[in-house]
Amino acid sequence: MRPRAALRALALLGLGAACSSPSPPQDAARDRADDLADTRVEDTRPPPRDIPRSDGGLNIELVEERVFGFYCAVPACHSGDMPTGRMNLEPGRARESLLGVRARGVQCGATDNVRVVPGSAEMSLLVHKLEDPRPPCGAQMPLGSAPLDPELVALVRRWVEAGAP
């Protein structure tokens, strides 16, 4: 075999080998994708049910039962003695944690945001944290999972607008 032909054959052999085995970046990307898939929180949330349409019956107990107690006051989040954002949303605790209370978490604590201004959803950090993909400070809530069902977000907004009874 002529030297040049031999060289080309060798080069082709090398190229074939490079294409068949996945490159380190591809491995890393696949590993990352696997890691991400493993960390995704399974969406076990029940669909919202019989949300009252009018403000009748709209009170903090209802919002605690339908939203805070199920989506926020979960372990390692807004529950227990060291709640995230220094804000406990367990049933019976939400009122003292929210109404007229300035933000106290690491990301929002340095701002003038107030968690709930009764009567004004626009001025209430809580509503923006639920509605806005990019809230005025920190991340959208609930952290680490899909945004809440719009019906539940609307329930919270109506509760605040109704004066947060």
The residue (of 13 and 76) whose beta carbon lies closer to ligand HEM is 76
ω into 142 cis (within 30 of 0): yes
| DSSP per-residue string spanning 42-96 | P--PPPP----SSSTT-SHHHHIIIIIIIIISSTTSS-SSS-GGG---STTTHHH
Residue 59 Cβ vs ligand HEM, minimum distance, rounded to whole Å:
17
C-alpha 158: how far from its chain's center? 21
Residues 102-141 binding ligand HEM (CB under 6 A) are 103-109, 115, 125-126, 129-130, 138, 141
Q: Does 77 bind ligand HEM (CB under 6 A)?
A: yes
* Whole-number Å distance between alpha carbons of 158 and 136: 20
DSSP 111: S
Binding residue count for ligand HEM, defined by CB under 6 A: 27
- Tokens encoding 158: 């109506």
- Among 142, 155, 159, 160, indicate the residue that binds ligand HEM (CB under 6 A): 142
Residue 54 Cβ vs ligand HEM, minimum distance, rounded to whole Å:
23
Q: Does 74 bind ligand HEM (CB under 6 A)?
A: yes
* Residues engaged in binding ligand HEM (CB under 6 A): 67, 71-72, 74, 77-78, 84-85, 87, 103-109, 115, 125-126, 129-130, 138, 141-144, 148
